[in-house]
């Protein structure tokens, strides 16, 4: 086993690895990574080093990137990341993935004797991990797409053998397929992400003297938007209700004139200006979702959700209790009309907030869940 610099203090030393991270406090990209790393760094039983793109770090976090790695990761973020590159150009995406593995291999070798374990975000980032380090891997919906690539499950199984590994999907629906692929070489334990406490503090006041405002917060791709425009046109075009769309344009998509597009929005803007007065959040995504963070934040704010019948959505929403699910234009219209009844709106919003507070909690709660697994992994590695 490696030398552990943390032994003298009794604190575990972790290297947290991510390929996305917000460049500043107003950046939405990789925001969940910053929230999680900050929560881990607030604990007095951990020492946290972070290998991630450049951005504002907590004073309690050690930056593990070299200047060269930081520049490369920053350029990768500006280009949209590897998943975006793979969607648009398989050859370029594959080349970037190989470059990432090379960068990671150097980082792991450089840090291996100073840490107790690796916390990797995205399955691919564990491939070059040294054999003498235990690994926790956070899995999101994009990882499930990654597993469809030829040889990827076999490569990951090879990397997992002979070491303690726990795979942590952030939603329960991913548990069964991950167990089928890796259950004999790794533990699989879902760990839900947390929610910034500020979302729980929102006081909703849907406006009743103006047209109902509905929100969509999403990366703009055809899969992420799903049937939004086709199903939404008869409900929003020339009708006394508004559809407001927020998010980065990642594919060339013609937006209908009845859609009010605002571009990317910082979480603080959504939290302070839009969530309090909107009637609800809509996601008709057909994308392979994990557990969409914006939906958790909406639930914490007491903002009702209308969502498509995806496993990720059904895993998160109890239909007619903590939100509404739909699978047709008729069902979508019924959901819209139901939530424009303010009594129904408030009831479902309150139930969503109560459920997410009890089941998900804050980022500090999430950090506690991970630390329990860290200690289990380190104990297994020492036996």
For residue range 177-209, list pLDDT tens digits in order: 999 999 999 999 999 999 999 999 999 988 777
Q: What is the pLDDT averaged over residues 39-44?
A: 97
Q: Which ranges constitute the DSSP H helices of the chain?
A: 31-41, 67-78, 81-88, 90-111, 141-146, 152-160, 175-182, 197-200, 222-225, 228-236, 267-269, 293-300, 311-316, 329-339, 342-359, 363-381
Does one domain contain both 177 and 213?
Answer: no
Does one domain contain both 150 and 279?
Answer: no
pLDDT of residue 14: 98
Q: Report the predicted TM-score, pTM, of the whole model to 2 decimal places.
A: 0.86
pLDDT of residue 210: 85
Does one domain contain both 272 and 314?
Answer: yes
Q: In whole angstroms, what is the distance from residue 19 CA to residue 138 CA? A: 12
Is the CA virtual torsion 153, 155, 160, 166 positive or negative? negative
**Given pLDDT bands bounded at 50, 70 and 90, which one contains residue 78?**
confident
Q: In whole angstroms, what is the distance from residue 146 CA to residue 152 CA? A: 7
| 7 inside domain | no
Count of the separate structural domains present in the chain:
2
Does one domain contain both 263 and 180?
Answer: no
Does one domain contain both 154 and 202?
Answer: no
Does one domain contain both 205 and 351?
Answer: yes
pLDDT of residue 257: 96
Does one domain contain both 209 and 338?
Answer: yes
Q: Look at 86-95, 190-199, 274-283 and tell me which has the smallest mean pLDDT.
A: 86-95
| 3 inside domain | no
Does one domain contain both 121 and 230?
Answer: no
Which of the two residues, 242 and 6, has the higher pLDDT score? 242
Which of the two residues, 209 and 240, has the higher pLDDT score? 240
pLDDT of residue 88: 66
pLDDT of residue 1: 43
> pLDDT digit string (tens) for 96-108?
888 899 999 999 9
Cβ neighbourhood burial of 376 (10 Å; 0-12, 13-18, 19+): middle
> pLDDT digit string (tens) for 309-324?
988 899 899 999 999 9
Integer angstrom CA distances of residue 159 from 96, 124, 166, 341, 358: 20, 10, 12, 53, 36
Does one domain contain both 141 and 118?
Answer: yes
Question: What are the backbone angles phi and psi of residue 44, rounded to the nearest 5°?
Answer: -95, 5
Q: Any idea what the CATH number is for the domain that residue 377 is in?
A: 3.40.50.2000
Q: What mean pLDDT is reported for the chain? A: 91
| 1 inside domain | no
Q: What is the pLDDT averaged over residues 8-16?
A: 88
Q: What is the pLDDT averaged over residues 64-73?
A: 95
Write out the two tokens for 176. 């069964």
| 6 inside domain | no
> Tell me, what DSSP letter sits at residue 327?
S
Q: Are 16 and 10 in contact, with CB atoms under 8 Å apart?
A: no
DSSP-assigned states of every residue in 186-253:
SEE------B-HHHHT------SSS--EEEEE--B-HHHHTTHHHHHHHHHTTSS-EEEEES-B-S--
Does one domain contain both 69 and 179?
Answer: yes
| 138 inside domain | yes
Strands of the sheet with 135-139, listed across from one edge: 61-63, 46-51, 12-17, 117-121, 135-139, 165-169, 187-188
Residue-number span of the structural domain to which 47 is assigned: 12-194+362-381
Does one domain contain both 204 and 142?
Answer: no
| 2 inside domain | no
Does one domain contain both 169 and 314?
Answer: no
| 158 inside domain | yes
Q: In whole angstroms, what is the distance from residue 29 CA to residue 23 CA? A: 8
| 4 inside domain | no
Q: Provide the percentage of residues in the chain whose pLDDT is more than 90.
A: 76
pLDDT of residue 3: 43
Q: Are 78 and 96 in contact, with CB atoms under 8 Å apart?
A: no
């Amino acid at each position: 086993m490696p030398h552990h610099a943390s032994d003298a203090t009794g604190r575990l030393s972790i290297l947290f690895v991510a390929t996305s991270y917000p460049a500043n406090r107003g950046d939405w990209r990789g925001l969940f990574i910053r929230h999680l790393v900050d929560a881990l760094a607030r604990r007095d039983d951990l020492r946290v080093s972070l290998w991630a793109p450049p951005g504002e770090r907590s004073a309690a976090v050690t930056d593990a990137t070299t200047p060269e790695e930081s520049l490369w990761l920053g350029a990768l973020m500006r280009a949209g990341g590897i998943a975006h590159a793979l969607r648009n150009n398989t050859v370029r995406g594959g080349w970037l993935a190989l470059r990432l593995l090379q960068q990671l291999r150097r980082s792991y070798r450089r840090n291996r004797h100073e840490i107790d374990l690796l916390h990797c975000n995205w399955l691919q980032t564990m491939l070059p991990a040294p054999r003498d380090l235990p690994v926790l891997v956070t899995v999101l919906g994009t990882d499930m797409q990654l597993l469809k690539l030829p040889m990827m499950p076999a490569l990951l199984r090879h990397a997992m053998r002979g070491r303690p590994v726990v795979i942590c999907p952030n939603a329960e629906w991913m548990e069964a397929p991950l167990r089928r692929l890796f259950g004999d070489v790794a533990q699989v334990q879902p760990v839900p992400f947390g929610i910034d406490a500020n979302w729980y503090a929102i006081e909703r006041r849907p406006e009743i003297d103006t047209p109902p405002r509905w929100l969509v917060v999403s990366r703009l791709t055809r899969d992420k938007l799903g049937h939004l425009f086709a199903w939404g046109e008869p409900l929003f075009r020339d009708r006394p209700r508004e559809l407001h769309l927020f998010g980065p344009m990642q594919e060339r998509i013609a937006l209908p004139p009845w859609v009010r597009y605002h571009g990317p929005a910082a979480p603080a803007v959504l939290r302070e200006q839009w969530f309090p007065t909107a009637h609800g959040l809509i996601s008709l995504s057909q994308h392979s979702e994990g557990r969409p963070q914006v939906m958790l934040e909406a639930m914490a704010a007491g903002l009702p959700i209308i969502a498509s019948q995806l496993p990720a959505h059904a895993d998160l929403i109890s239909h007619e209790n903590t939100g509404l699910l739909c699978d047709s234009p008729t069902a979508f219209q019924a959901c819209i009309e139901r939530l424009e009844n303010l009594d129904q709106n408030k009831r479902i919003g309150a139930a969503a907030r109560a459920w997410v507070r009890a089941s998900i909690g804050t980022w500090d709660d999430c950090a506690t869940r991970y630390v329990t697994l860290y200690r289990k992994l380190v104990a297994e590695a020492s036996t």
